[in-house]
Amino acid sequence: MPIVSDLSLEELKQLKEVVNAMLDYSNAAIIRNNFIKAFYDNTVNGRLYGSFKLFGTKTFRLTSSAPNLLNMPSTGSVYAKPIKQCLSTDKSHLIYQVDFSALEDRVIANLSRDENKCAIFTQGIDGHCLNAYYYFTDEVEAILPRKEGEDLYAFVKRFKREVENGNKALKAIRQKSKPVSFGLNYGAYPEKVASSIKCSLEQAENIFHRYHDELYKGVDKMRTAVLAKAKNKGYIPLGLGCRITTDNPEKEIRTVFNACSQFWSILSLLSLHKFNEKIAENHLEDKVEVISSIYDALYIHIDKDAELVKWVNDTIIPIMTADFLEDQIVHNEAVGEIGYNWYDTAEVPNGASLEDIEKAIASLEDKCSTQQ
């Protein structure tokens, strides 16, 4: 069998088509087995009954099965729309969904007090533009020179405006930074960085050191402190009396450190519990029901009534955005949406008026009419 470098352009094109077909087949099989089959097997009288396990992971997150809703196709997947549209209600009800905004990053910002990480939220800095500038300074400045004496955050905001105004070269650099950031956030080393963006090991090492020593040095300092405490005590306190133990801190530092922020997805469950108390206090059990929690999001089934939507919105948002740490610098944010299914939704802004909500419901009706 010839090696890839011996193939002609036409043969490479055919090989690519075959590989893509195999990947499509594999992904389709996952969707069929994990979701479609589970939908049939676990639906009773038109209602899907799945399972959740409290504290199913080491970091105290829920796990899900039958079907595994935590493995829902991502927004960019061709399967996201049809699968999420399967999770629907009748036209006399609505599904209100609300999601914490960048909860894990906000937690890290608060715990580490890192200047740049906090500035992303307190000063409205685009994190991807900030990261891209640190990783690829020369590439960015070759297109958009930084003015003498220009404040870093002012420059990053100008960078973002250029991207929004259609600068394709800057947009590509910003996009290139994303896999780098994702890897480094979860403990990747230069070899992984080099592989993710197809760069030299020397460039990857420079990016690695800029990330840890300059960009988010407060986060790196926190990681060092976590490792030291884990070595000394054999565990790390996470919050609310919970802890993660380790008998090999050096080997398990990635899991232990990630747990410090991922643990706080428990805020979803605490919010769910507090919201259920409010439902009971207002005797709305027959009209409002929390039906699912996936990572940092809650899904609530309600009667189709603008005043009820307003009550849900005005009640759940303050619960989810309440401070959970002393001297909290970066505050939580959450925004609700309504729809007849989990995919086709209309935003309900914080503090939305009845008129705003009625318009959102009307937009859903228009969308349904268009699809028909």
Structural domains in the chain? 4-68 (no CATH), 80-105+265-371 (3.30.70.370), 115-215 (no CATH)
Strand, helix or coil for residue 57: coil
Contacts of 140 (CB under 8 A, 6+ apart): 132, 133, 159, 170, 173
Quick check: 4 and 15 in contact, CB under 8 A?
Answer: yes
pLDDT averaged over 10-residue windows placed end to end, the chain, 372 residues: 63 82 81 87 88 83 85 81 91 96 93 95 94 96 95 96 96 95 87 91 94 94 95 93 93 91 92 97 97 92 97 98 92 96 94 95 77 56
The pLDDT assigned to 203 comes to 94
Rounded CA gap, 41 and 48, in Å? 9
User: How confident is the model at residue 69, as a pLDDT?
Assistant: 84
Query: 180 is written with which tokens?
Result: 């780098």
DSSP 8-state class, residue 349: -
Q: Judge contact between 173 and 136, C-beta under 8 A.
A: yes
| Strands of the 345-348 sheet, one edge to the other | 288-294, 297-303, 93-100, 334-339, 345-348
- H helices present in the chain, as ranges: 9-31, 37-41, 80-86, 103-112, 115-122, 127-135, 137-143, 152-164, 168-185, 190-197, 201-210, 217-233, 249-262, 266-281, 306-320, 354-371
CB within 8 Å of 6: residues ≥ 6 apart:
none
- Residue 70: per-residue pLDDT: 82
The predicted pLDDT at position 349 comes to 96
Tell me how long the chain is. Answer: 372
Which residue from 283, 348, 372 is spatially nearest to 95, judged by alpha carbons? 348
Nearest Cα neighbor of 134 from 184, 169, 192 is 184
Q: Which residues of 75-103 are buried (b: 16+ CB within 10 A; e: fewer)?
A: eeeeeeeebbeebebeeebbbbbbbbebb
- The reported pLDDT for the residue numbered 2 is 47
Contact 349, 335 (CB under 8 A): yes
The residue written with tokens 């352009």 in the block is 9
CB burial class (10 A; 0-12, 13-18, 19+) of residue 262? Answer: buried
Dihedral sign of CA atoms 131, 132, 136, 141 in order: negative
